[in-house]
C-alpha cells in the first residue's frame, strides 16, 4: 500500500503545481505581454482614473446621454457579478410588461420622435451587460441628445458614425456603437462647442 500512496501523492503535488500555479502564471504573463489592455479589463480612463470598461455597459438615464441596452442583472443594472439574461420567453407576460414599460420611458423622454424604437433599446442581451447598441438605436436617440445638448443633429449623427464599429474582421457580428465611448466623445464635442 505504501508503494502506491507515495507516487500518487508525488504526482498529485506535481500536477497541482503545474496546473494550479505554473500554467495560470504562464497564461497570465503571456496575456499581459501580448494584450495588456484586454488583460486589464479593457478599462476606459479619464484623467488616469478608470470610469468604465469597453466590455460592460453602464446605466445612462440622463437625457444628455445616449442610453444603452437595458440590463437584466440584479440588484442594480450592469452588475458584472450577476451577469445573465432575464430568461423570459417571448410568450412570457413579464417580458411584454418590461418591453412596454421601456417603450413608455423612451416615448416620454422624446415625445416628438415618431420613429419605431429599435428592439435593442427595449430588450436585454444574454449577458445583461452589453455595452453596445445598434447604429439604428443610436440614430433613434440622435435628435433628443442634440436638442438637449444644444448641438446640431448632423454633428451628433457624424459623431455616431465615427464611433460605429463594423463587423469583427468584416464577418462576425453586426455593426455596433459602444455607448460609453460615444457618450465620452459627446462630452468632448460639447466642451469644444461651448464658448
pLDDT band at residue 195 under the 50/70/90 scheme: low
Greatest Cα-to-Cα distance within the chain, rounded to the nearest angstrom: 85
**pLDDT at 54 (0 to 100):** 87
Per-residue pLDDT reduced to its tens digit, 152-191? 999 999 999 999 999 888 889 899 999 999 999 999 888 8
CB 132 within 8 A of CB 177: yes
Per-residue pLDDT reduced to its tens digit, 97-128? 989 999 999 999 899 999 999 999 999 888 88
Q: How far is CA 58 from the centre of its chain?
A: 7
> H helices of 48-129, where?
93-109
Q: Name the phi and psi angles at 14, rounded to 5.
A: -65, -50
pLDDT above 70 (res 95) = yes
| 15-41 average pLDDT score | 89
Per-residue pLDDT reduced to its tens digit, 122-152? 998 888 888 999 999 999 999 999 999 999 9
pTM of the model: 0.80
pLDDT band at residue 57 under the 50/70/90 scheme: confident
Amino acid at each position: 500500500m505504501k508503494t502506491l500512496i507515495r507516487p500518487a501523492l508525488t504526482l498529485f503535488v506535481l500536477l497541482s503545481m503545474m496546473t494550479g500555479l505554473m500554467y495560470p502564471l504562464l497564461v497570465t504573463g503571456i496575456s499581459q505581454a501580448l494584450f495588456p489592455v484586454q488583460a486589464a479589463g479593457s478599462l476606459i480612463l479619464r484623467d488616469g482614473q478608470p470610469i468604465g470598461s469597453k466590455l460592460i455597459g453602464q446605466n445612462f438615464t440622463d437625457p444628455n446621454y445616449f442610453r444603452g441596452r437595458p440590463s437584466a442583472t440584479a440588484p442594480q443594472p450592469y452588475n458584472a457579478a450577476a451577469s445573465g439574461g432575464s430568461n423570459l420567453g417571448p410568450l412570457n407576460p413579464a417580458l411584454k410588461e418590461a418591453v412596454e414599460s421601456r417603450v413608455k420611458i423612451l416615448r416620454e423622454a422624446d415625445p416628438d420622435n415618431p420613429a419605431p424604437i429599435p428592439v435593442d433599446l427595449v430588450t436585454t442581451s444574454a449577458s445583461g451587460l452589453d455595452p453596445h447598441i445598434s447604429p439604428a438605436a443610436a440614430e433613434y436617440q440622435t435628435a433628443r441628445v442634440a436638442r438637449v445638448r444644444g448641438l446640431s443633429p448632423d454633428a451628433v449623427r457624424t459623431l455616431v458614425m465615427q464611433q460605429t464599429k463594423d463587423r469583427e474582421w468584416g464577418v462576425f457580428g453586426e455593426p455596433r456603437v459602444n455607448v460609453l465611448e460615444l457618450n465620452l466623445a459627446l462630452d468632448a464635442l460639447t466642451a469644444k462647442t461651448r464658448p
